[in-house]
Structure 1
């Protein structure tokens, strides 16, 4: 039986795998072209996840396939930006910059609804912007192209999250999630055939990178996320996912010897504070706790 604790633990494992993805991309890109890496990553993920849930896919209707095409296309743009960006920035930087997704989501929703964001969102944006400056700006006060692409990737990922929330209401979410992986991989293969010379991994490191990205970061990550989020709260999910850049920095340090400068660590800390500020509604949390003390609304916190 799935409990909230088990669901949270599963999401923590997903977050760890996603934190490792930046290192895997760095490893893979030393041998494999960018579009080919995207094609292999999502192609492997689609085959594995599709095999596991093939009965669901057999019953996927036209609407599910149509929605999956939209989401897979947006996901492709997400990973074009991140994959090309990580070639000219560090895995640590990429992890913290992509975490800005958490801030972009409520900001885009506020723009769409034509209303001012909540104060905590504005505070989070302020912290994050200052952090980005410390993390990415150098002596010339020019942000590198790789860092810029990772920020664009975070923006596309925020769009993907918002669109996913709207499209999953009328279709089977697992089928939708798996099919979007297939479309993202298909786009990668198409562009690989047009602008690259497709090739399989030729070294042990590149095989480890491709299998790590395809099996653990994509197939396992996206499917388990879909299942686990049914049994936990959005607040817990957001908090766990905010740890992704921390794990990205850890893996980059442990296996690639990447180290941020003192200014970089300060910037990374401010970005993380900004993300947490935007994600956690402290006032709402305290009100729930107070309701529990008076035996009212305790079920909201379960």
Structure 2
């Protein structure tokens, strides 16, 4: 009995730590719109994404290289066992899928509004949960589904509030939805990879492959790769170290405890937290609907987190 209680206590502690990690990751990635705005005072959108990934690759790749000597023998025994060819292909694929999602998002903005893109991107938890159910037989109980419905209602209501007429072409809407599909696919891939690879390894592959894919895109569409002004340099460093290095890496790290469906649902808070940060930093107006949407999304997430579907299955 004591052993069972101790095991449950450890599981509960690990779960609480994972939620805390995800919360910190959410705050880190919520700075991204602010840094992107500052970066794009000099760089184009593709060059901004390139710098975000390339800086992570340099900083955390160098850190991994320094630590490699001490861990080499242990890793030889633990990380090369039971890793299949499909796992290695999956590891390389995370960069491809994430870049496709980002590029589709960027292209969609040429045909429709930012508000519409944000609205359609909020559908990501549906695609992630659908993929988990169809591909891996993940079960979702009523509590999780109701929580997801409440959180989505709050997020989508905020999106509709910002539409103000809903101008834009159908092609833009389709591309924004495809971006959400690929983002959901990325979360599914990271969830599968966490059984064999640590979060830093996954993000190094994501940023390595992503940076390589963006080089010709930046070269032919924008020309300038790196910033020269102080404000843009600080912005891309923030994107690479804070948003990618702490935000995305910690999101991947907590997927050994939390399901990708719950993680994608939790990240519905990102645009709301970004709005709160913009309010605090740029004194942008923040209406009653934003606070109400925050409360509704938070209620749905709270309900979903108490479901067994929010945690990783053993």
Give the alignment's TM-score, normalised by structure 2. 0.68
**Which residue number in structure 2 is paired with residue 294 of structure 1?**
none
Shift of the 48–11 alpha-carbon distance from structure 1 to 2, 3 Å rule, reads same
1:28 counterpart = 2:53: no
SS at match of 1:201: coil
CA distance, structure 2, for counterparts of residue 173 and residue 109 of structure 1: 20
Q: CA deviation at 1:152?
A: 4.5
* Cα contact 2:55–2:240 (8 A) shared by 1: yes
CA distance, structure 2, for counterparts of residue 252 and residue 187 of structure 1: 31
Which of these residues, 34, 38, 51, is aligned with residue 40 of structure 1?
Answer: 51
Equivalences for residues 152-171 of structure 1 within 5 A: 152-171=178-197
SS at match of 2:31: helix
Q: What 5-or-longer segments of structure 1 have no aligned partner?
A: 286-299
Shift of the 37–238 alpha-carbon distance from structure 1 to 2, 3 Å rule, reads closer
1:103 counterpart = 2:126: yes
Which of these residues, 148, 162, 184, is aligned with residue 135 of structure 1?
Answer: 162
**Which residue number in structure 1 is paired with residue 209 of structure 2?**
183
Shift of the 29–94 alpha-carbon distance from structure 1 to 2, 3 Å rule, reads farther
Q: CA deviation at 1:279?
A: 7.6
**Which residue number in structure 1 is paired with residue 24 of structure 2?**
13
Query: Once superposed, what is the RMSD of the aligned Cα atoms?
Result: 4.3
Q: What 5-or-longer segments of structure 2 have no aligned partner?
A: 1-12
* Cα contact 2:113–2:168 (8 A) shared by 1: no
**Which residue number in structure 2 is paired with residue 297 of structure 1?**
none
Equivalent residues, number? 279
Q: Cα deviations across residues 17-56 of structure 1 (Å, max 9, x unaligned)?
A: 1011011112212210122111111011112121222327
* Cα contact 1:43–1:186 (8 A) shared by 2: no
Shift of the 237–163 alpha-carbon distance from structure 1 to 2, 3 Å rule, reads closer
Shift of the 165–247 alpha-carbon distance from structure 1 to 2, 3 Å rule, reads same
